[in-house]
Structure 1
């Protein structure tokens, strides 16, 4: 077992029992245990298959190519609009996980087969996402802002485009853009940690947890 995963699970104040059970189930599927993106990640021949993580109201298994799974039980959830490939199975209790054990294993088996056969999710290109006129207006007013946006990764750009274009009212769209201009200028994505302590900007290395311990 991976020591980083042990440390992660032991540090949890919530969902520890549930994630420990999920870990047990996943390891029974003969996957290799690693620690990526600050969470336990399970691979097959070096390919990411599934990750376990926790949120305030639920814990989950995240299938990296979940969009390709058949999902006969209709369990998979698209975490955000920007998630084109990954899908979650969410849990709110240990009993729920235990009841779905055989189903979880079946989904993992299919996920391994998908990776073995080299299947890929056909992702929508960033150029296909609508750029709101309000964003184009800000680009004209501030060329440095446009350059900073273009320097973001494709995934971060898509996240912002979806976020900016979602409201119906132009005023709300502009408000969202202005609210996030500083984040974009600093190279951060919509959901990136901005604690200011990370040495892996714009990614987070977990440094913000130092702040949580002081509170």
Structure 2
């Protein structure tokens, strides 16, 4: 994956570095009406790239990650960039329970991964998301309603391999008006390259696939 066109951020080992999915979500973020009165929540902030972009637009931003290394990295990147971002450690919206926001952005782990258990203490924690890649995507869909104000917007990026129709259906069932607003086709990165055989056996990758992955951004507006 390529590196988005923005100032380099500190991304120590174990912290997800901004890539094409980050850039795609940033484009979607730029189209929203974000300003000083906007309260934004970044779920699974990693290096803090999306949180910093929202803060740069003037928003009041809270960023959450379950990994202490990511939390500390996002705080340091905010300090270096001279942006005010509140960074909390926690498991998705559990870190901000009782609070609501105008905009929620999320680039959660979404890579389909073999094995019944998700990693807890390895770099793969930043991308592995279970056999169908939906372990965190589904949770974001389910938890977003409690974190958004009426009329608020969720921006969520994931691989089409995980099933955009499933995400749209799940969000519609939760009372959202949801659609795919952005798409990008990119070459497989190192992780997917090592899993091609397994992905085909799982039915997630066609035999004639050219080792290209489609990314989608889904915009969902809360009723």
Work out whether the TM-score is over 0.5.
Answer: no
> Which structure has more RCO (C-alpha within 8 Å, separation ≥ 6)?
2
Length-normalised TM-score, structure 1: 0.27
Higher helix share goes to which structure? 1
Length-normalised TM-score, structure 2: 0.26
Higher strand share goes to which structure? 2
Q: Which has the larger radius of gyration?
A: 1
